[in-house]
Amino acid sequence: MWKDFKAFAMKGNIVDLAVAVVIGGAFGKIVTSLVDNIIMPLVGIILGGVDLTKSFVIEVGEGKMELGIFLQSIIDFLIIAFSIFMALRVLTKFNRKKNEEEKAVVKVDTKEELLKEIRDLLKEQNK
């Protein structure tokens, strides 16, 4: 059972997934910091010095609805989603080029094989 688990854990896809999760977590922290410390204060300055995280708070008794923080989370999500979209777009374009190159190599190989067969047939006919 240990060997099966080790083989499963060491597959390229699992290791790639683990690396992606770690990098994704770090990237999420960077984007959150960007939104919290740069984008939202900039938006607040543009709106006349308003702190959106503290301004859009609805309080009823003990309960609070912090709409500014929710807005901040939406901006986080949009930035991360757009970044992932762009990364996948670049990877897809790269993989498409790679597949086209592989197809071109395969086509050349089949032509060469056919030419070799024709050459061999001509040699046999001339004998």
97 - beta bridge partners?
none
Q: How far is CA 81 from CA 1, 31, 60, 85, 120, in A?
A: 39, 11, 34, 6, 58
Query: What digits encode the pLDDT tens for the residues 68-99?
Result: 888 888 988 999 889 889 988 998 888 888 77
Options 3.60.10.10, 1.10.1200.120, 3.40.640.10, 3.40.440.10; CATH of 2-95: 1.10.1200.120
Q: Where are the domains of the chain?
A: 2-95
Q: Which residues contact 70 (CB under 8 A, 6 or more apart)?
A: none
Residue 100 token pair: 């086209």
Query: What digits encode the pLDDT tens for the residues 24-54?
Result: 889 889 988 988 888 888 888 888 888 877 7
